[in-house]
Chains A and B, each alone.
Chain A
Amino acid sequence: MSLLLNPRTPAPRFWTRTTVLFAAGGLFAYLVSLVLFATGSAWLLIATSLVRLLLGIAPAARIARRFGWHSPARLYPLAFALPYPVNLGLCAYAKRFQWLPFDVARALSGPTAALTFLACVLLASRWITDAAVSRVLNGQQEERLRLLGRWLFAVTAIGVVLVSSPLSPWFLHYLIEPVALTGYAALIGQALPNPPGREENPP
């Protein structure tokens, strides 16, 4: 009876042209950051890790707005996002003797300690990124954001525990990190408001 009274409306599609465009922006951000990380500058590494999601998404948002696919939205909180910073974690670990007490840094020397440290950095970054992305999403797609976070947590755990230690950072950096950036960017693309009269996902 309730089915007759409340016919179930189909869930809106996630992958639309806007979502795909933003996902491409996320992937672009990952590729640009690979080039910038290769310079070896620690400050550039920190700055890139922080703003790369914004750098990838801003052009996508500009394109989408130009074609009238969505209305403007504030993106500046993304400047403080820290999406899956594998290189930053590895750099912080490599320089641990410069910012940790000597005996702590020494005790953290070893492949297991390195992976544990990296996993902690990635876990902490997830909270920071979720907070920044959530401000842009403005209350939408919260469930999908949580789902993405849980998925990243699970895959990171698998990468750290099951993949052999020399390959773990490679696995996390070259396989999971682009997926993370693409996922965050696609979520933002999905949540941006459509202009009045334009419905990309008609019921």
Chain B
Amino acid sequence: MKHSAKGAMIAVAAVALVGAACAKKVAVNTPPPAAPQTAPAAVSNPRPAPAPASARAANTPVARPATTPASGIPNAATRARIDQLLARIEDAYFDYDKAALRPDAMKALQTDSIELRDIIAQYPNYTLTIEGHCDERGSAEYNMALGDRRAVAAKDYLVNVGIASSQLSVVSFGKEHPVCSEQDEACWQKNRRIHIVAMAR
């Protein structure tokens, strides 16, 4: 029976290690350090060099290059541009217990999403993560599923706009991350939302 106890401990440790080892994604909500211009991956998988940085200056629409940048990860200037675009894309809000996009939510997603699509298309290793959120009413499990449905609805919309499905991922926080903690309809409305963040794979 000692073996069983040891086995259980080893299994728990293994699960923890596997979980930690699976950490790949890096959130870029907080400004990351500037990425090196030449990535080691480019050596094993040679690709054409990225367009000059001047072509991706901030606040100017970016023309889609004929070739993909070498690293697949945008440089600091482009990341700043993507963050700027994402900041302009407002959160899309939902009705109570609904996961269908309202007209105002579609409008919020539509704004700047075309330009975002053009930029994202150049960087296959870059993804947009859509976070689904809910208000505090209902069980945690129900809201987790509802937040997932909301995020998937927004993802479908963005795929229709033209963003590659492989560059969109969804997570659901249910009611875990509210932006407002009052208990009134105005506050609940703020919490029933999807939010988009950019991440490197």
A interface residues (Cβ-Cβ under 8 A, vs B)? 90, 94, 97, 100-104, 106-111, 114, 120, 124, 127-128, 130-131, 134-135, 164-170
Cβ contacts under 8 Å, A164 to chain B: 145
Q: How far is B20's CA from A124's CA once the two chains are assembled, in angstroms?
A: 18
- B4, B11, B15: the one contacting A130 at CB < 8 Å is B4
**Per-position 1/0 for B1-43, Cβ under 8 A of A:** 1001101100110010001101111110000000000000000
What are the 5 tightest A-B residue pairs by CB atom distance, in nearest-first order?
A127-B8, A109-B171, A131-B4, A166-B142, A131-B5
Q: Which residues of A contact B170 (CB under 8 A)?
A: 110
**Separation in Å of the A187 CB from the closest CB of chain B?**
15
| A126–chain B nearest beta-carbon distance, Å | 9
- Complexed CA–CA distance, A94 and B176 (Å): 7
Contact A103–B8 (Cβ < 8 Å): no
Cross-chain contact B25 with A106 (CB below 8 angstroms): yes
Identify 18 residue pairs between A and B in the complex whose beta-carbon atoms are under 8 Å apart, listed by A's number.
A90-B141, A94-B140, A100-B19, A102-B27, A103-B27, A107-B171, A109-B131, A109-B172, A109-B176, A128-B5, A128-B8, A130-B4, A131-B5, A135-B1, A166-B139, A166-B145, A167-B141, A170-B141
- Chain B residue numbers with a CB within 8 Å of A101 are 20, 23
Chain A's nearest CB lies how many Å from the CB of B28? 11
Q: Which residues of B contact A114 (CB under 8 A)?
A: 141, 144
Contacts of B24 in A (CB 8 A): 103
Whether B141 pairs with A104 at a CB distance below 8 angstroms is no
B136 located at the interface, meaning its Cβ lies under 8 Å from any Cβ of chain A in the complex? no
Q: Determine if B148 is an interface residue (Cβ-Cβ < 8 Å).
A: yes
Query: Once the chains are docked, how many angstroms separate the CA of A193 from the CA of B1?
Result: 20
Q: How far is the CA of A108 from the CA of B170 in the complex (A)?
A: 11
Q: Which one of B8, B25, B145 contacts A165 once the chains associate, using CB atoms below 8 Å?
A: B145
Cα–Cα distance between A172 and B15 once the two chains are bound (Å): 22
Residue B123, interface by CB 8 Å: no
Contact A103 B172 (CB under 8 A): no
Interface flags for B85-117 (1: CB within 8 Å of A; 0: not) read 000000000000000000000000000000000
Look across to chain B and name the residue whose beta carbon is closest to the beta carbon of A120. B15
Bound CA span A106–B24, Å: 11
Q: Mark B173-199, 1 if CB is under 8 A from A, else 0.
A: 100100000000000000000000000
Find the residue from A103, A109, A134, A135 having the highest chain B CB count within 10 A: A109
Determine the distance from Cα of A135 to Cα of B2 in the docked complex, in whole angstroms.
10
Is B176 touching A131 in the complex (CB atoms < 8 A)? no
Contact in complex: B1, A127 (CB < 8 Å): no
Q: Are B148 and A124 in contact (CB under 8 A)?
A: no
CB distance from A159 to the nearest CB of B (A): 12
